[in-house]
Amino acid sequence: MEKGPEFMEKLVSLCKRKGFIFQSSEIYGGLNGFWDYGPYGTALKRAVEQMWWNYMVESRSNVEGLDSTIICNPKIWKASGHLDKFGDMMVDCRECKTRHRSDQMEDVKTCPACGSKNVTEPREFNLMMKTFVGPVFDEDHAAYLRAETCQPIFADFHLVRIAARKKLPFGIAQVGKAFRNEINPRNFTFRSREFSQMEMEFFCTEEESMNWYEYWKAERKKYYIDLLKFGEDELKFQDHGPGELAHYAKAAVDIEFKFPFGWGELEGIHHRGTWDMSRHQEFSGENLEYLDQDNGNRKLIPTVVETSAGLDRSILAILCHAYDEDMADTKKEGMEEDVRAVLRLPARIAPVQAAILPLAKKLMEPAEKLYKDISPFFRSEFDVTGSIGKRYRRQDEIGTPFCVTFDFESLNDNAVTVRHRDSMEQERISMTELSHYLAKQVMAN
Ligand code: ATP
């Protein structure tokens, strides 16, 4: 289907209606840039996070996990440069009191909201969110919500290395919340003020670093294509040109997704040189060198290659990719001919992987037993209300890949009908085989 700007309205409305994503504190009018995940959204988010974690950490012997705090010693942010530099150039309108990023304005002397020329010169605005630790609210007790998940990884590098008995090269990964006081939150969850990141910092020697950079680029592409099933035409690898690179970086690429509102960054892969570790050595006064026993005991500051993805942006891309409408043969399932709304989610991340549907109220008891058998292994739902056609439609809208119908025949043949979301085809499967069958299907879809 056509995925233009009006598509976003449909998606935002589905997300709210079906309990995927809605405004935070909605009864109070919401809060700009903050979003809550409802029951299906939570299930999807956890599944995507787990898939990333499995791909990046659990299935590799050279990447370790970390779960650091959101509030850290503020010196971390001094060392990383966030306190001094992390910001955008902003223009304030003196008339309508709106604030705009100067790089997003057509003309920095004209307010894009009201057209007034009564605007300030562009000035720097820091994006770090500030708080205070302890009972005294003064500058000595100021602290910050982390603006990215990677800085504590650098600070904890040696503790992790020693505990995990690791030699270079190896990586440390973490998933968690990050906070940025974005000036202009927009495009649904794309630019939020509170969001989750999935980051992995890979520590290696300078000589090997470009090979690792290319390796991670290829791995991350594989993840989006093979696991999330994005099309090649939905992704763009946008290399940073020499003028766009940070002064310490050797190479960087943005992985962009074709959103209905235009191309937008999903993930950055950055060669960060020795910048981060050198800065933390300088600001902490600790020796953060690594003793390279494989190379004549030389001492070095590890070079870092980073993969930094946004979890909320991934979810948004997944939903944009998955939402579809078709004119399936709905009559066959006892419904009037109509447009069918369907989320074509990969089975591994669908919030409900199998819906157990008794055909009649009388069959509830044995069907519920089947649900209890299946639900420890698959995200399942037991749905008894409405005609079977309506229940299929409801499951299509939330992306359930397999509807398992328990009918009167099931009592005799100990089998159920599995209906596939995309093809709407049905198969008869023995109940004793069902778990095995679903496991194979989830792995393949
Ligand atoms: P942008 O240019 O869009 O502001 P960035 O280059 O500042 O992003 P990074 O600092 O590289 O982003 O952060 C890594 C990832 O974190 C991004 O690719 C994105 O997926 C996610 N991310 C960053 N800022 C936000 C935000 N405000 N809301 C949601 N996700 C974000």
Residue 177 in any domain: the answer is yes
- Are both 142 and 265 inside the same structural domain? yes
- Are both 264 and 213 inside the same structural domain? yes
What is the rounded CA–CA span in Å between residue 25 and residue 227?
A: 33
What CATH number should be reported for the domain holding residue 375? 3.40.50.800
Question: Is the model's pLDDT at 91 over the cut of 90?
Answer: no
- Are both 65 and 144 inside the same structural domain? yes
Contacts of 186 (CB under 8 A, 6+ apart): none
- Are both 260 and 193 inside the same structural domain? yes
Instruction: Please tell me the distance between residue 70's alpha carbon and the centre of ligand 1 in angstroms.
Output: 17
pLDDT for 272 = 95
**If you take atom 31 of ligand 1, which residue's CA is the nearest one?**
310
Instruction: Please tell me the distance between residue 147's alpha carbon and the centre of ligand 1 in angstroms.
Output: 10
Instruction: Please tell me the distance between residue 345's alpha carbon and the centre of ligand 1 in angstroms.
Output: 24
Confidence of residue 313 (pLDDT cuts 50, 70, 90): very high
Of 86-95, 114-123, 182-191, 355-364, give the lowest mean pLDDT range.
86-95
Cis peptide before 135 (omega within 30 of 0): no
Model-wide pTM > 0.75: yes
Could you read off the pLDDT of 39-80 as tens digits, one per residue?
A: 999 999 999 999 999 999 999 999 999 999 999 999 999 999
Burial class of residue 289 in the structure, from the number of CB atoms within 10 Å of its CB (0-12 exposed, 13-18 middle, 19+ buried): middle
**If you take atom 22 of ligand 1, which residue's CA is the nearest one?**
310
Question: Is the model's pLDDT at 258 over the cut of 80?
Answer: yes
What is the rounded CA–CA span in Å between residue 86 and residue 81?
A: 7
Question: Is the model's pLDDT at 154 over the cut of 90?
Answer: yes
Task: Indicate if ligand 1 lies below 6 Å from the C-beta of 87.
Answer: no
Give the nearest ligand 1 atom to 180 CA. Answer: 27
pLDDT for 2 = 83
Residue entry with tokens 């209300």 = 385
**What's the average model confidence in pLDDT over 339-363?**
96
Which has the higher per-residue pLDDT, 58 or 139?
58
State the total domains in the chain.
Answer: 3
**What's the average model confidence in pLDDT over 339-353?**
96
Examine the fold and report which residue of 296, 318, 340 is the final residue of a domain before the chain moves on.
Answer: 318
Could you read off the pLDDT of 6-27 as tens digits, one per residue?
A: 899 999 999 999 999 999 999 9
Question: Is the model's pLDDT at 248 over the cut of 80?
Answer: yes
Q: Which of 195, 223, 261 to mutate to test the pocket of ligand 1 (most atoms within 8 A of CB)?
A: 195
Which amino acid, 392?
A: Y
pLDDT for 397 = 96
Task: Indicate if ligand 1 lies below 6 Å from the C-beta of 180.
Answer: yes
- Are both 398 and 273 inside the same structural domain? no
pLDDT for 392 = 95
Instruction: Please tell me the distance between residue 310's alpha carbon and the centre of ligand 1 in angstroms.
Output: 6
Examine the fold and report which residue of 126, 142, 175 is the final residue of a domain before the chain moves on.
Answer: 126
SS3 content of the chain, % helix, strand, coil (to 5): 35, 30, 35
- Are both 294 and 412 inside the same structural domain? no
What is the rounded CA–CA span in Å between residue 324 and residue 344?
A: 7
- Are both 280 and 336 inside the same structural domain? no
Which amino acid, 156?
A: D
Phi and psi of 141, rounded to 5°? Answer: -110, 10
Do strands 323-326 and 170-179 pair parallel, antiparallel, or not at all (unpaired)? unpaired
Examine the fold and report which residue of 318, 345, 379 is the final residue of a domain before the chain moves on.
Answer: 318
**209 vs 216, 252, 435, CA distance in Å?**
11, 12, 44
Closest CA to 417 of 357, 366, 346: 357
Instruction: Please tell me the distance between residue 178's alpha carbon and the centre of ligand 1 in angstroms.
Output: 10
- Are both 39 and 147 inside the same structural domain? yes
Residue 420 in any domain: the answer is yes
pLDDT for 307 = 98
Could you read off the pLDDT of 181-207 as tens digits, one per residue?
A: 998 898 999 999 999 999 999 999 999
Instruction: Please tell me the distance between residue 176's alpha carbon and the centre of ligand 1 in angstroms.
Output: 13
**What's the average model confidence in pLDDT over 340-346?**
95
**If you take atom 11 of ligand 1, which residue's CA is the nearest one?**
268
Instruction: Please tell me the distance between residue 438's alpha carbon and the centre of ligand 1 in angstroms.
Output: 36
pLDDT for 190 = 97
What CATH number should be reported for the domain holding residue 92? 2.20.28
Task: Indicate if ligand 1 lies below 6 Å from the C-beta of 256.
Answer: no
**If you take atom 6 of ligand 1, which residue's CA is the nearest one?**
268
What CATH number should be reported for the domain holding residue 217? 3.30.930.10
DSSP 193-256: SEEEEEEEEEEE-TTTHHHHHHHHHHHHHHIIIIIS---GGGEEEEEPPTTTS-TT-S-EEEEE
Residue 323 in any domain: the answer is no
Which helix (H) or strand (E) segment is 418 a member of?
A: strand 415-420
- Are both 78 and 95 inside the same structural domain? no
Task: Indicate if ligand 1 lies below 6 Å from the C-beta of 268.
Answer: yes
Confidence of residue 244 (pLDDT cuts 50, 70, 90): confident
pLDDT for 333 = 77
Residue 264 in any domain: the answer is yes
Residue 267 in any domain: the answer is yes
**387 vs 338, 366, 406, CA distance in Å?**
16, 19, 13
What is the rounded CA–CA span in Å between residue 176 and residue 197?
A: 6
- Are both 17 and 137 inside the same structural domain? yes
- Are both 308 and 377 inside the same structural domain? no
- Are both 136 and 233 inside the same structural domain? yes
What is the rounded CA–CA span in Å between residue 133 and residue 143?
A: 6
What is the rounded CA–CA span in Å between residue 52 and residue 418?
A: 29
Residue 122 in any domain: the answer is yes
Range of the domain at 189: 5-85+130-318
Alpha helices, H only, 121-204: 151-155, 157-164
Q: Are 158 and 288 in contact (CB under 8 A)?
A: yes
pLDDT for 377 = 97
pLDDT for 48 = 98
Closest CA to 56 of 175, 153, 156: 175
Instruction: Please tell me the distance between residue 386's alpha carbon and the centre of ligand 1 in angstroms.
Output: 43
Residue 76 in any domain: the answer is yes
Closest CA to 197 of 49, 27, 413: 49
**What's the average model confidence in pLDDT over 389-417?**
96
Residue 324 in any domain: the answer is no
Task: Indicate if ligand 1 lies below 6 Å from the C-beta of 272.
Answer: no
